[in-house]
Structure formats: C-alpha cells, structure tokens
Structure 1
Amino acid sequence: MKKLPHKFQIPLTVAIMLPIMLTAMPAVMLYSTLPKGAALFEPWLDTVTRMVPFALPTLLVIAGSIRFVVTKWLVQPAPSL
C-alpha cells in the first residue's frame, strides 16, 4: 500500500480526530450528568447541534493562529532541496 506524503500528517490527524471529539465529548459529559436510565440520544443530538456551529469557526481561528505563531517564530523553515 502506498503511503501519503508527510505533508498530509496534520490535515489527516485533524480530519480523523475532530469528528470523534465533536461527537464523543458531548456524549461523555451528558452520560455523567444525566440521571440513571435516562435517554442519551436526544440530549446528545441536541448538544452536538448546538456545539458544532461554534466549535468549527473557533477551531479555524485558533488553529490558524497557532500555526502562524509556530511557523513564524518557533520553527526553522525546512531546508531547500
């Protein structure tokens, strides 16, 4: 199997982790706060639909800012071949 180039490591990591985090974190929080035996799906779906519209723009702003700071001041540029 042919592997992807290294430059896709961060986008692939984000693409795999983001959906898992956006769906699993509300479930964990709700499961710990709901009364025993209460339905989980409806409150979870409501929480996800309220959270995702705020989480995605926040992710874009924060990730873009962090990447700018890291590439501008913290990491040396890659050597030219």
Structure 2
Amino acid sequence: MLFRTKPAGRHAAPARPRWWRRWLRPVLAADDGMSTAEYAIGTIAAAAFGALLYTVVTGDSVVGALTGLVEQALAVQF
C-alpha cells in the first residue's frame, strides 16, 4: 500500500478544530453588520476616494501619458 488512508466510521478519530478557527470565531461573530453611522462614513469615504481618483486620472500628465501609450500602440507595424 503506497498511501495510508484514514480510518472511516466509528474507528475514526474526531476532527479537532483548527487553531485559526478558534481564534477567528469571536472576531467574525462579534458584530452582525454595520450600523447606519458606519454606512454613512463608508459612503463619504468612497465618494471622497472617487473624487480624488477622478482628479488624478483627468489630470494633464495622466491624459498625456495615456494618449502617448495609445499612439505608440497604434504605430506598431506588424
């Protein structure tokens, strides 16, 4: 027999919970969800990040770099 198999049925040893499951269980089960205030703060943070990202992407340097990249890709000869 090349591989050892685990015993099945009533002779099998009971599975022990892993250490990380015991550690994570209280962390994951401690809170059922976000409250209204947390939703409001998360929404404001997401909107601020979106505004910052829009400002960066529409800036002259990024638009120029993307334009140069597209022109370079279109100028490739096959």
TM-score range, shorter chain: 0.3 to 0.5
| Structure number having the greater helix percentage | 1
TM-score, length basis structure 2: 0.36
- Which structure is richer in relative contact order (CA contacts within 8 A, separation 6 or more)? 1
- Rg comparison, structure with higher value: 2
